[in-house]
Structure 1
Amino acid sequence: MKKILKYGFIAFLVIGGLFAAAYFVKSNAKSPVVYETETPFTASIEQKTVATGKVIPEDEVNIKPQISGIIEKIYLEEGDKVKAGALIAKVKVVPNEQTLNSARGRVRNAQISLNNSKIEYDRNKTLFDRGVVSSQDFNNIKLAYDQAKQELENAQSDLRIIREGSAGGSSIANTNIRATVSGTVLEIPVKEGDQVIQSNNFNDGTTIATIADLGKMIFEGKVDEAEVGKLKIGMPLKISLGAIQNKEFDAELKFVAPKGNEEQGAVQFKIEGDVYLDEDFFIRAGYSANASLVLEKKEDIMVIKEALLQFDKETDKPYVEVEVGDQKFERKDIEIGISDGINVEIVSGLTKEDKVKVWNKTEPVKNETADNQ
């Protein structure tokens, strides 16, 4: 009885092992992979790069006051079109007390000097008429008198400038802020009541308004150092704006910076290009833009899909596998040229009759539920 149980247990283990092996083989069985092939073909390739940047006016002019004071009135708004000489704002002069007091003191001193010179002049003129004083002495006294009168006029003019902003007694010349160029008012960063400072050797002064001609726009962007060597002045650009969909503007490269700036570990070079505007579209200053540049172009060359390339792990040189028999392939080292990210130029190593292995083809995922059914 014990032998029967023993042999029965062994038979159970053997049968169970066979079932397990059969299930394992079935679940892991794979159909043999059949690789497809593709042949080289003729096509044209453009190697492009994209520079990000913005569209800005070619020239922007900052209007600054000729005198310090407070903005009394603003006559224009941002977006208004103006001509040179148009009135933008009016500044009310607020004189500095110390400067004003000093100017008043100068006027009083000049008046005292003039009074003294006049007394001396009148006394010597009477003597000169009698022939007592020589002509030379009288001329010197008259010169001193004339100089005293001029000094008083200068002091009074300086006092008027400090008080009113103009030596002529009218502040129109300096307190009326006018446009120096024709264009569109891009920005008025001040408001009525703001204090402004005049432009001088020690201070840029307060900007009253910024004016630019929106009919002359340029693209300003940056390119990587790996591509800047391929740029040439006069190259055509295609400008696309984020604010205007499905529209490209032609442009021409006019400037490439001689010095780059490091940004986030990469050296970037500034470029500029003249944008040819379309009258049907209004371009605002500061629109974000992308410029597409064709760095290199070749037509009617032999190419293959870039996905067919393989690279040697040691030398990093490209190669492909070419069919030499039924699903039999051998390696061929090749030399490649330019690429557009989809197709790559074949310089040497292949002919148009070669069948190149599609090595990275993915197998379709089986539906396990359907198989179980």
Structure 2
Amino acid sequence: MNKIVKYILIGVLVLGALWAAVFFVKSNSKSAITYETSQPFISSIEKKTVATGKVIPEDEIEIKPQISGIIEKIHLEEGAKVKAGDLIATIKVVPNEQSLNQAAGRVRNAELALNNAKIEYDRNKVLFDKGVISSQDFNNLKLTYDQASQELKNAQADYQIIRKGSAGGSASANTNIRATVAGTILEIPVKEGDQVIQSNNFNDGTTIASIADLGKMIFEGKVDEGEVGKLKVGTPLKISLGAVEGVELDAKLKFIAPKGVEETGAVQFKIEGDVEGKDDVFIRAGYSANASIVLEKKDSILVIPEAVLQFDKKTDKPYVEIAVGSTEEQKFERRDIETGISDGVNVEIISGLTKEDKVKHWNKTEPIKKGDEETETE
């Protein structure tokens, strides 16, 4: 009985060894890879970079009041097109009691001074007509009377300005906020009832509205310090808008910042470019945009696909493998080359290859069977 068990165990071990050998042979048997080849060809390469930014008006004007008060009426809405002089809003003046009392007191003092000057003027005019006083003395009295009359007018005008915001309620009154330039109203950051502060030497004042000409737009973006040195004023740009698909606008670089700003560990330089608008495309202020900039361009140069490049592990210099003999023999030799600019797809060949060379595609995919389906892995 023991012998039978022993023979069974030996048979199981032999069968197991045979199965393992067959599995090992099958799993390690790979079909031969046939590498493809391609020849260098003549083409053009553009090395580009992309600057992110936005499209904004070239000039944006903020309209501020010349007098403090409360917004009584807003006559226009955001998006309205205006001409210089168009009425945007009206301000209701809320006078300061102390200033109002002082102005009223000044008016009263001017009236008293004028009454006194008139009495002296009338009395001396009679004497002058009789030849009692000289013309010089009479002229001095007349000058005093005229000055008192003018002072009263000035005091009354100041009082009206403090109380109502204007001396006579004319169309040019400070309470009427008007557009100073032609364009489109981009924003009205106040509403009726808001209190506003006048613009003066000590305060910028409250912005009533911002106006810009949307026909004159610029691209404002930033580029990395590694690329800013390759830019030149006048370089053409291609602007693509995030909000308008399939539209590409032409622009021309007009400004490169002399100083960079560090952002998230990288130094960025501000650039600006004049955007050429299109009649069928309405550009709104603040659209996010990308500017494609050609840093370097070469025409009619010898190139190969960048994917066929290999790099030496020690020197990190590029090389390719060249087919020797017929393609069917699949024999290759190493060839060191010198490369130029690249656009990420093709790379310029400066030396080391000719148009007749056949370059090996070393990263050929290998078919592997999975069940009844055949897939490819790198």
Normalized against structure 1, the TM-score is what?
0.87
Q: Residue in 2 aligned with 1:232?
A: 232
Of 348, 355, 359 in structure 2, the residue corresponding to residue 356 of structure 1 is 359
Closer/same/farther in 2, CA of residues 8 and 276 from structure 1, 3 Å limit: closer
CA drift of 1:287 comes to 2.0
Q: Secondary structure at the match of 2:234?
A: coil
Closer/same/farther in 2, CA of residues 315 and 122 from structure 1, 3 Å limit: farther
For the pair 1:278 / 2:281, whether they are aligned, the reply is: no
Q: Residue in 1 aligned with 2:51?
A: 51
Q: Secondary structure at the match of 2:245?
A: strand
For the pair 1:69 / 2:63, whether they are aligned, the reply is: no
Structure 1: stretches of 5+ with no match in the other structure: none
Q: Distance in 1 between matches of 2:163 and 2:92?
A: 10
Of 336, 340, 345 in structure 2, the residue corresponding to residue 337 of structure 1 is 340
For the pair 1:291 / 2:294, whether they are aligned, the reply is: no
Code of the aligned partner of 1:300: S
Of 347, 350, 369 in structure 2, the residue corresponding to residue 347 of structure 1 is 350
Q: Is the 8 A contact 1:70 1:94 kept in 2?
A: yes
State percent identity of aligned pairs. 76
CA drift of 1:329 comes to 2.8
Q: Is the 8 A contact 1:303 1:345 kept in 2?
A: yes
Q: Is the 8 A contact 1:164 1:170 kept in 2?
A: no
* Greater Cα offset, 298-307 or 89-98: 89-98
Q: Distance in 1 between matches of 2:360 and 2:226?
A: 32
Q: Secondary structure at the match of 2:247?
A: strand
Q: Secondary structure at the match of 2:181?
A: coil
Map 1:242-281 to 2 at 5 A.
Answer: 242-281=242-281
CA drift of 1:244 comes to 2.5
CA drift of 1:111 comes to 4.5
Q: How big is each residue's C-alpha offset from its partner over 1:273-309, in whole Å with a ceiling of 9 and x where there is no partner?
A: 2222221222222222222222211111110101111
Q: CA RMSD in A?
A: 3.0
Q: Distance in 1 between matches of 2:215 and 2:373?
A: 66
Q: Residue in 2 aligned with 1:94?
A: 94
Code of the aligned partner of 1:358: H
Q: How big is each residue's C-alpha offset from its partner over 1:38-62, in whole Å with a ceiling of 9 and x where there is no partner?
A: 2211111111222222222222211
Q: Distance in 2 between matches of 1:18 and 1:73?
A: 98
Map 1:321-332 to 2 at 5 A.
Answer: 321-324=321-324, 326-332=329-335
Map 1:153-168 to 2 at 5 A.
Answer: 153-168=153-168
How many residues align? The count is: 371
Q: Residue in 2 aligned with 1:22?
A: 22
CA drift of 1:104 comes to 2.7
Q: Distance in 2 between matches of 1:191 and 1:24?
A: 83
Q: Is the 8 A contact 1:121 1:142 kept in 2?
A: yes
Structure 2: stretches of 5+ with no match in the other structure: none
Q: How big is each residue's C-alpha offset from its partner over 1:95-116, in whole Å with a ceiling of 9 and x where there is no partner?
A: 1223223323333444455566
Q: Distance in 2 between matches of 1:74 and 1:219?
A: 32
Q: Is the 8 A contact 1:165 1:171 kept in 2?
A: no
CA drift of 1:336 comes to 0.9
Normalized against structure 2, the TM-score is what?
0.86
